[in-house]
Structure 1
Amino acid sequence: MGADVLVGVVEEGSDDARLEELALVLRQELLATDVRAVEPYREGEVPDGTRGPGLAAIAGVLSVSLAPGLQVLGSVVTVVRDWLRRSGSGRTVKVTIDGDTIELTGASDAVQQQVVDAWVRKHTPADG
């Protein structure tokens, strides 16, 4: 079974337009991984008979669909961390799966890596 991961860009002092811009840049990098899709996250369910998106996207938040049976969550987290390191300070990215959120920064410290590794293991299928 596939899973959806929410990836939300946070930058202190940024407006919605800036967060959308940052999310689109990150989206391009995530699409280079082995994921099914990366789209702007829309809150709520689409009503029956609705053709278009119709729901408001949340600024800076992406929905990443992981392919079934693949252990790509680790790759997604690696791309996010690399992007953060290159993009300068003042940004964080919140990655959420099944209601469990981890907040990533550009810091390359060993403690954050241990937390990330444990979080990814928790959400990676053992048979995958």
Structure 2
Amino acid sequence: MEPTVHLTLAEAGSDRTRLDQLARLLRDELGQLDGADVRPGPSQHAPPGARGVDAPTVSTLVVALMGSGGLTALVAAVRAWLDRGHEAPRSIHLELEGDVLELSGATPAENDRLVSLFLARHAGKAPSWTADAPP
């Protein structure tokens, strides 16, 4: 079975409409990755009688990864998307097999370390520290 990653994005001060827009942009970008099947998260539509959909629902994506290197490519693409210019702070919560990687306002060195540990657990790679600090 191929790994499935659940992504939930957040942006400070954003409403449901803005989060939906961001999720669509990220979905389009991640859809360009080889071996990644990107879909909206579960329950993108409001249940009957509901007045709307909550922000975490519209900002969730599910990514099925096929082939080796898919997780590494996904995390790299998510980090690049987060690093691009934007006015409000953003974060992305990645969950794979119950393990969570939260990318947000940490320093690049801290994020490098978190990503290395996460990939070591799931992609079978030894951590490669890009920061000057040892583990």
TM-score, length of structure 1 as denominator length:
0.79
Question: Structure 1: any 5+ residue segments left out of the alignment?
Answer: 44-52
Residue type at the aligned position of 2:62:
S
Aligned length: 116
Equivalences for 1:102-117 in 2 at 5 Å?
Answer: 102-105=101-104, 109-117=108-116
Structure 1 ranges of 4+ moved more than 3 A:
53-57
What SS is found at the alignment partner of 2:69?
coil
Look up the match of 2:73: 75
Equivalences for 1:35-54 in 2 at 5 Å?
Answer: 35-43=35-43
Question: Structure 2: any 5+ residue segments left out of the alignment?
Answer: 48-52, 126-135
What SS is found at the alignment partner of 2:59?
strand
Give the CA deviation at 1:10. Answer: 0.5
Instruction: Give the RMSD, CA atoms, in angstroms.
Output: 2.3
TM-score, length of structure 2 as denominator length:
0.75
Residue type at the aligned position of 1:105:
S
Between the aligned residues of both structures, percent identity stands at: 33
- The verdict on how the C-alpha distance between 1:106 and 1:82 changes in structure 2, with shifts beyond 3 A counting, is farther
